Amino acid sequence: MTEAVPTAVSAPETSATPAAAGEATRSARSAPALLPPVDVLEDASGITLYADLPGVPRERLQLQVEGDQLAIEGEAVIAVPEGTEPSHIEVDLPRYRRSFTLSRELDASQISAELSHGVLRVRIPKAPHLQTRRVAVQVG
Amino acid sequence: MVRTLFARSAPPEFTRDFLTEFDRLQRDLSRVFEPSPSIRGLARGGYPALNVGTTPTAVEIVAFAPGLDPASIAVDLDRGVLSLSGERAPVLPARSDEKTALHLNERFAGRFRRVVSLPDDIDPQGVAATYREGVLRITVPRRVAPQPRRIEVQ
């Protein structure tokens, strides 16, 4: 049940989008949303992010890199029979949203993501020439 | 609100989305002031989060339980109390490479158990559970309510 998630990467210089599209993006971004819990791990070759997005199908998940911003947004689809009377509610919004500022050594063009059982896993490698190198300390 | 992936500067509590924080405050307050909470406490903010609803023919339980192996989820119904239990593995194995740093660790890991007490008119035989996209849905059918009738006084 692991599915690859396409990632939209747009460089800052290609931000010549029509005003209407910009408006639509902004209104979608301002809709109330839950903050999904995340785990972020770093190893020598990059960063791995896990986010809990239960109920979000692949086609309702958006992962976007714009400049140094990584934005995750997903819409949960929970179908209950018509006329269901809620008696106890802990999750009261069908939308998750969270964004992060990437740091310079990460190579956002090589980002990959997959969604499995409601958990999004995003891998952002470091630029090859910036990967860990031990610095020899000169004595003298 | 935006936060760096490294999050070394400020504790997470300070950089959370304001509205989400406000929500949490409201929940905390309602917990403090709830006049008579359930004896099992139904703690909000637990894993998995639960939504419960009823229809005339069934009780619908939606558990937001991402990242589980469907085979490892135990759903038990005993004397009108439904319990969900299982375990979610931590993202970092116990003996991990020392070069791996965990910058943010907000997701639940470990054993969990949550219970829901059900109404009296349920039919324990017909319980159905499905797990999809990290959401566990349990439908507990209710017995059809008998028609109201008048009792003759002798």
Which residues of chain A make contact with B134, given a CB cutoff of 8 A?
52-55, 117-119
Query: pLDDT of chain A along its 140 residues, tens only?
Result: 566 776 666 544 433 344 444 444 444 567 889 999 999 999 888 999 999 999 999 999 999 999 899 999 999 998 888 888 898 888 888 999 999 999 988 998 899 999 999 999 999 999 887 666 677 788 87
Are B100 and A42 within 8 A, CB to CB? yes
Which residues of chain A make contact with B106, given a CB cutoff of 8 A?
37-39
B149 is a domain residue:
no
- Write out the residue range of the structural domain in which residue B23 sits: 1-36
* Residue at B45: amino acid letter: G
Residues B74 and B121 in one domain: yes
CATH number, span A2-11+30-79+92-130: 2.60.40.790
Report DSSP state, residue B122.
Answer: B
Residues 15-44 of B with CB under 8 A from A: 16-17, 19-20, 42, 44
Residues B49 and B125 in one domain: yes
- Residue among B8, B106, B133, B142 with most chain A CBs within 10 A, to mutate: B133
The C-alpha of A37 sits at a distance from chain B's nearest C-alpha, in angstroms, of: 5
B100 is a domain residue:
no
- Reported as a single tens digit per residue, the pLDDT across B129-153 is 999 999 999 999 998 766 678 888 9
pLDDT at A75: 95
Taking the alpha carbons of B126, B132, B134, B135 in that order, is the dihedral positive or negative?
Answer: negative
Residues B69 and B124 in one domain: yes
Strands, E, within A1-140: which ranges? 2-4, 8-10, 38-43, 46-52, 61-66, 69-75, 85-89, 95-101, 112-116, 119-125
Residues B60 and B6 in one domain: no
Encode A37-57: b = buried (16+ Cβ within 10 Å), e = exposed.
Answer: bbbbbbeeebbbbbbbbbbbb
In terms of C-beta density within 10 A (0-12 exposed, 13-18 middle, 19 or more buried), how is residue A78 classed? middle
B67 is a domain residue:
yes
Which of A40, A70, A91 shows the shortest C-beta gap to B64?
A: A91
Which of A55, A81, A101 shows the shortest C-beta gap to B135?
A: A55
- CB count within 10 Å of CB A120 equals 25
Residues B20 and B55 in one domain: no
Distance, CA of B154 to chain centre: 51
pLDDT < 50 regions, chain B: 1-15
For chain A, the domains span: 2-11+30-79+92-130
- Tokens representing A76 are 């949960």
Residues B23 and B50 in one domain: no
B80 is a domain residue:
yes
B152 is a domain residue:
no
B23 is a domain residue:
yes
Q: Which of A68, A66, A71, A60 is nearest to A5 (CA)?
A: A60
ipTM above 0.85, yes or no: no
Q: Which of B126, B152, B150 is nearest to B139 (CA)?
A: B126
Which residues of chain B make contact with A43, given a CB cutoff of 8 A?
97, 99-101
